[in-house]
Amino acid sequence: MNLALIRILSGFSPLTIALGITMTVAYGTLFYSFPILAPAIMAEFGWSRTFVFGIFSMALVAGAVFAPVSGRLLDRRGGRFVLSLGTVLASAALVAMVWVNGPRSFAAVLLAIEATATFVQYEAGFATLA
């Protein structure tokens, strides 16, 4: 391993490094990947850009509506539980994307993805570090 990288990482606890990796993976798979995958989704189903990104926008709002549930769970059970549960739920939601066969299932799965994102993104990570 690069000596400079070792010096940088030596100032952080293993939990902090693990959470940094977890947050990067969570955002990469649940949020940042969508604009990259959207053209393929539009081509596969013949949907318009407006429809696909409209559903994505509604899913983001659903995530905001669902965030208080995540917050209450963080207060009651702690960050490690919420991050673990969120990882399982978000993974299941991503796998469910395989079975999308129309607009309703696409909307339902995308809503599930963004709702579970509240369990594995910044809020849960910061609460775990606190």
Give me the number of domains the chain comprises: 1
Q: Is residue 7 part of a domain?
A: no
Residues 6+ away with beta carbon under 8 Å from 19: 125, 128, 129
Q: Which of 4-18, 42-56, 97-111 has the lowest mean pLDDT?
A: 4-18
- What is the C-alpha to C-alpha distance for residues 15 and 91, in angstroms, rounded to an integer? 21
Domain that holds residue 90: 20-129
Q: Is residue 4 part of a domain?
A: no
- The 10s digit of each residue's pLDDT in 23-81 is 888 889 999 999 999 999 999 999 999 999 999 999 999 999 999 999 999 999 998 89
Q: Give pLDDT, residue 5.
A: 64
Residue 16 has pLDDT above 90, yes or no: no
Q: Is residue 14 part of a domain?
A: no
Q: Is residue 33 part of a domain?
A: yes
Q: Is residue 111 part of a domain?
A: yes
- What is the C-alpha to C-alpha distance for residues 88 and 74, in angstroms, rounded to an integer? 16
Q: Is residue 123 part of a domain?
A: yes
Q: Is residue 28 part of a domain?
A: yes
Over range 110-124, report the average pLDDT: 91
Residues 6+ away with beta carbon under 8 Å from 56: 34, 38, 110
Q: Give pLDDT, residue 102.
A: 96
Q: Which of 3-12, 62-71, 89-98, 117-126 has the lowest mean pLDDT?
A: 3-12
Q: Is residue 53 part of a domain?
A: yes
Here the tokens at position 61 are: 């709002």
Give just the sign of the alpha carbon dihedral 93, 57, 44, 40.
negative
For the chain, what is the mean pLDDT? 90
The amino acid sitting at 57 is: S
